Structure 1
Amino acid sequence: MELLLLAIIALCAGIVGALVGLGGGVILIPATLFVGVELGYFPDITPQRVVGLSVVMMIFTGLSSTLSYVKSKQIDFKSGFIFFIGSIPGTMLGAYLNKSLDLPSFNLYFGIFLIFISTLLLVRNKLKPIHWFVNHGMKRHFTDKNGTEHEYGYPIWFGIIFTFFVGIISGLFGIGGGSLIVPAMVLLFLFPPHVAVATSMFLVFLTSIVNSASHIFLGNVPWSYTIPVIIGAYVGAKLGAALNKKMSSKTVVTILQVVMLLMGIRSIIEGIFNN
């Protein structure tokens, strides 16, 4: 029963993560902590162990999504590798910082982060793109399936510095970093949305390998829980990537905003009153 619950949670995390480029950790972590700690299904789960589980899951979420997006040629591999350079030291530092968090502190900080991301998703369509980064950086081009050519770009130094800080958050909370990098790619660097999501999932795959290695070294991965999570996440990511190609993700993003807002409020309450 416990392993089936984990597989279902991972399936949902994989679908949502691949559909909107978030990686899935924002679903897996609060859901697993709730089912594990509050409902008592995984009494041995800790913030460190659930983050370790999440980053291992995201290797397979990212791989599954990447393989799907390769076929549709939506991934900007060059940008993905540039962003990966900045993410490497950031994820290692974030994993190291994670070991000092107890459950109430983790719930509090993660809740604040979820509300921040929910707000960012809410306002990102109302924010105006900034053309400065494209005009003062490396320019990239993409032609969509309708034959429309898109120009986007960024200064390489800024991309590396930005993804360093995204990497810290990724290592600290066990999320893929897509929740921050996708809005940045769309608003700051003018990436076409579908290219931003696909490139984000490629970056999630790469950074999760480094992130996982850090958490394995720190002894944070609960190996007995990984198999159902990997299977559920891999299948979910395939479904999410397929949906991304066929539909607008606006409805899913709206649902995700509400879910993350509620999860964030609940995590903050848990963090304050269980301290």
Structure 2
Amino acid sequence: MPHGPRLGGVNATETTTTTADDAVTAAGVPAEAPAASIDENHLDESPRGLTIMAVVGVFVGILSGMFGIGGGTVIVPALVWLGLTQRHAAATSMMAIVPTAVSGVVSYALEGDVDWVAAALVFAGMFVGGQIGSWLLSKLPEIALRWAFVAFLVFVIINQAMSNPSRDSHIVMHPIMVVGLIAFGVVAGVLAGLLGIGGGAICVPALSIIFGASDLIARGTSLLAMFPNSITTSVANVRRHMVHVKAAAIIGIVAAVTAPLGTWIAAAVSPRTGAIMFTVYLSVLLVRSLFVALKAMRRAA
């Protein structure tokens, strides 16, 4: 009897018909079976599901270019909605970020908005932190991961609301700055591996507020730092059988195509306008993530 592709140790032959929120048929009609457990994978790979992944890729690419993020804050909730657990959604998101980050880095580098030294130092820390985060991702309970994602969003929103980014400043290197960038990279790497984000949502505000980079340099540098970290963390996740490669490829390739458009928008608006737009986007996402976390708690009770 033929078997479907393996997905984190789960047979995915017949897992294309149930989302995380409601059991649905391939046509989108509610099924008779009860909703799946939050510890099971039932990715919707119907034409509807594949279309949603492509649309997610478009938005991820634009947001990545605009805000210097990998797009995990969009990819993870979308994949959870399509049927992956938070754990597998986070791991799949990390792989999708690889081509997205490459495209964004090229766009920012062409305008001279990348600090190569700072990116290398942050990545040095993220490499270590990413492995820790990937290990925690395979160990922590599903509900804990969902609430960790909510807490992360609250932290980033507060930081964005308090920031007043400049377009003229840059990072001044000295011994304390070097140590600070590496230490910060470790923290960002843990969060990236644990939450399935590239790390940009925490790197961009930190590079501006703590380390003094301009808004555009912070975004370009963040994308460069997350690119190799996404690769190393994805390798660890693949070894733990937590990645849905097909979903990662669809989202990542589409996002890579649309990222340059987001970069153009970022340069066209003022730094403050960009920060406000990012805060609004994260606030909407926070409401959605909070709702999903509460629903998961009720289902597990």
TM over 0.5: yes
Distance 1:254 1:264 in 2: 15
Per-residue deviation, residues 146-176 of structure 1 (Å, max 9, x unmatched): xx67563452112111110110010001101
Q: Report what 1:273 is aligned to.
A: 298
Indicate yes or no: 2:154 matched with 1:115. Answer: yes
Equivalent position SS for 2:172:
strand
Q: CA deviation at 1:219?
A: 1.2
Q: CA deviation at 1:251?
A: 4.5
Task: Decide whether the 8 Å contact of 1:4 with 1:228 is kept in 2.
Answer: no
Distance 2:236 2:64 in 1: 22
Indicate yes or no: 2:58 matched with 1:19. Answer: no
Indicate yes or no: 2:292 matched with 1:245. Answer: no
**Change in CA separation of 1:151 and 1:116 when aligned onto 2, cut-off 3 Å:** closer
Within the candidate set 102, 110, 116, 1:63 is matched to 102
Task: Decide whether the 8 Å contact of 2:125 with 2:189 is kept in 1.
Answer: yes
Please, what is the CA RMSD of the aligned residues?
2.1
Structure 2 counterpart of 1:264, which letter? S
Indicate yes or no: 2:172 matched with 1:152. Answer: yes
Distance 2:275 2:181 in 1: 26
Percent pairwise identity: 25
Q: Report what 1:3 is aligned to.
A: 50
Distance 1:115 1:200 in 2: 20
Distance 1:16 1:88 in 2: 24
Distance 2:125 2:248 in 1: 28
Structure 1 counterpart of 2:57, which letter? A
**Change in CA separation of 1:270 and 1:116 when aligned onto 2, cut-off 3 Å:** farther
Equivalent position SS for 2:143:
helix
Task: Decide whether the 8 Å contact of 1:24 with 1:175 is kept in 2.
Answer: yes
Distance 1:257 1:88 in 2: 26
Within the candidate set 254, 257, 261, 1:232 is matched to 254
User: Which is bigger in relative contact order (C-alpha 8 A, separation at least 6)?
Assistant: 1
Distance 1:157 1:48 in 2: 31
Q: CA deviation at 1:261?
A: 2.5
Task: Decide whether the 8 Å contact of 2:56 with 2:75 is kept in 1.
Answer: yes
Q: Report what 1:262 is aligned to.
A: 287
| Of 96-105 and 24-33, the range deviating more from structure 2 | 96-105
**Change in CA separation of 1:176 and 1:227 when aligned onto 2, cut-off 3 Å:** closer
Q: Report what 1:29 is aligned to.
A: 76
Distance 1:151 1:158 in 2: 12
Q: Report what 2:215 is aligned to.
A: 193
Per-residue deviation, residues 46-102 of structure 1 (Å, max 9, x unmatched): 223211211111111110001111211110111111111111110011001101234
TM-score calculated relative to the size of structure 2: 0.76
Q: Report what 2:41 is aligned to.
A: none
Q: Report what 1:137 is aligned to.
A: none
Q: Which has the higher Rg, Structure 1 or Structure 2?
A: 2
TM-score calculated relative to the size of structure 1: 0.83
Q: Report what 2:204 is aligned to.
A: 182
Within the candidate set 190, 202, 206, 1:168 is matched to 190
Distance 1:227 1:158 in 2: 34
Distance 1:250 1:186 in 2: 11
Within the candidate set 141, 163, 168, 1:124 is matched to 163
Which has a greater percent of helix? Answer: 1
Count of aligned residue pairs for this structure pair: 248
* Unaligned 5+ runs, structure 1: 38-44, 130-143
Equivalent position SS for 2:139:
coil
**Change in CA separation of 1:152 and 1:264 when aligned onto 2, cut-off 3 Å:** farther
Distance 2:160 2:184 in 1: 18
Q: Report what 1:92 is aligned to.
A: 131
**Change in CA separation of 1:173 and 1:254 when aligned onto 2, cut-off 3 Å:** closer
* Unaligned 5+ runs, structure 2: 1-47
**Change in CA separation of 1:5 and 1:192 when aligned onto 2, cut-off 3 Å:** same
Distance 1:72 1:195 in 2: 10
